[in-house]
Each structure stands twice: as structure tokens, then as C-alpha cells.
Amino acid sequence: MPILKVPGLKSTGSASSMKSGSKSPSASGSAASSAGSLPSGDRTYSPADVLKFKKPTPGFLVPFQTSPPVQFLAFTIKDKKSGHVFFETKRPDLDAGTVVPLADLIVPDGLDPDMLRTVNYDFGADFLDCATVSTSLVFAVGARPVSNFRMIERHYFGDQLIKSFDFTFGFGIPHSVNTWESVYEVPPIDKKLRAKMIAEPRKTMADSFYFVDDKLVMHHKATFEFSVPAAAAAAGAASGRRGSGGK
């Protein structure tokens, strides 16, 4: 569920780009697949390739584009059952309900462009208890049609693959604005793994791969935090002290 960080978006919830000078979340990682290091050169990647990956890629598999085939305009993540919104971001001009023309992405001087496709989310610990998460993604298509638009997400804790999602939008008409609704049926998380995901921020990571006609055209990365509210953390600490005989 990562989304490109674009200047001008307004957000509710917590998300931030990687800080300047920091490494990509898995930049120091080893091989992206069980077969070894990623192949070098100008090769292309297919859905079958990325579905073999067992750990985060050590970098991005395609170059950053200032004129990508699609641009993301709004994104919402919520608990499907309760409707609680964990995160929401959109371009202000979408509120008018007008079609938004595409413009080249501008990378400020001195900014690593990869920061614009790397984001850190903090959804809070309650997010880990959601059985079903729904997302809504609004995107604009450029001058060329986009056929068989597909997204594959691989989620990891460290170098352990914990879940994988595969969604297909289909065909995007040139110069159109589209809404892509997705539902994530989240598998139960082991209690020990859940505790680790809370205790070790940003060790939970995701690679999002976007394909057009089975060719990889965009690659985004995300890291996740699941922070415990201060009041709940204080209550848990007090309970622990009572259980150990403390006052």
C-alpha cells in the first residue's frame, strides 16, 4: 500500500518520507530472492520474477521517472469493518471534483529522488488487529493507455516474507482519473511476531511493484511503525510493575 510522496498532497494520519541522507529501508540488505543477488543491467522484471522474492530488494528495480505512466492523486487506508481511517492523503485540487492534468514530477535540488518513492507509515498498534483492510487509490493516466495495470505487494519483517498481495486494475484510458478499490484479507499474526513488529519500528517493510502488460514500470518502498499510544504504554508498564511486585 505504499504511495508516491508528492509535494502538494495533504494528509491525515502519520506518514513521512525517508530523511535526507538516510538509506533506503533495505539498502544494506542482501539478496532480494532466494536465488541470490538481483541481476544487473537493463533487464526487465515480470510478475513471475517478483513473486519469487523472499526478502526486500536491496534497491529499486526500475529508475525513478519524472513522467511515470500513472500518477497517484489520493490514497486512503481504513479498517473495512469499523470504517476507521488509518491514513488519508490527497491533492487539494481533487476536492473540486475536477479531472487533474498530469504534470512532470519536480525533484527539488539536493533531494534524492528515491525519497519520493519511499515512505514510512505509523498506523498504531491497533492496525495489527484488523482482519480486513480496505484501500482506495485515485490515479491519473498519462497520454498513453495503460493496459493490464497490476500491483504486487510483498510484505516482510526483516528478511522474512509475512504476506503477499496481488491486484489487477485492468485498462486505464489516456488522460483519465480512476479509483482503485482494494481489500486486504490480513492473515492472523503470531503473538510473538506482533510483539516484535511493535518493538522494532521500520523493520516491517513492503515492496510495491506496478506492472503494465506484465512489465515492471514503477517500484515503491515502505516501512511501517505500529506505535502504542502513550496512555496504553503507561498502563502496560504499571501492570507489569504490579505483576512483579513493584509499587
Instruction: Classify 170 in phi/psi space as left (phi over 0), alpha (psi -120 to 50) or beta.
Output: left
Average pLDDT of the chain, as a whole number: 79
Nearest of 92, 109, 222 to residue 165 by alpha carbon:
222
Quick check: helix, strand or coil at residue 178? strand
Query: Is the per-residue pLDDT at 44 higher than 50?
Result: yes
CB 56 within 8 A of CB 156: yes
Give the rounded percent of residues in the chain with a pLDDT score beyond 70.
71
Dihedral pair phi/psi, residue 112, rounded to 5°: -65, 120
Question: What integer pLDDT is reported at residue 100 of this predicted model?
Answer: 57
Cell for 84? 476507521
Mean pLDDT calculated for residue range 21-32: 36
pLDDT band for 78, please (50, 70, 90 cuts). very high
Cell for 83? 470504517
Q: How many Cβ atoms from other residues are within 10 Å of residue 187's Cβ? A: 9
Question: Tens digits of per-residue pLDDT, 125-162?
Answer: 999 999 999 999 999 898 899 999 999 999 999 999 99
The domains of the chain are located at 10-27+44-243
CB 127 within 8 A of CB 204: no
- Count of all residues that appear for the chain in the document: 247
Query: Listing from the earlier edge strand, what are the strands of the sheet with 70-79?
Result: 10-12, 85-90, 70-79, 132-141, 177-185
Fold of 10-27+44-243: Coagulation Factor XIII; Chain A, domain 1 (2.70.50)
Question: What integer pLDDT is reported at residue 245 of this predicted model?
Answer: 60
Measured distance CA(6)–CA(111) in Å, rounded: 13
Question: Of residues 247 and 178, which shows the higher confidence score?
Answer: 178
Question: What integer pLDDT is reported at residue 168 of this predicted model?
Answer: 92
pLDDT band for 80, please (50, 70, 90 cuts). very high
pLDDT band for 11, please (50, 70, 90 cuts). very low
Cell for 202? 521500520
Question: What integer pLDDT is reported at residue 34 of this predicted model?
Answer: 43
Dihedral pair phi/psi, residue 42, rounded to 5°: -100, 30
Question: What integer pLDDT is reported at residue 96 of this predicted model?
Answer: 61
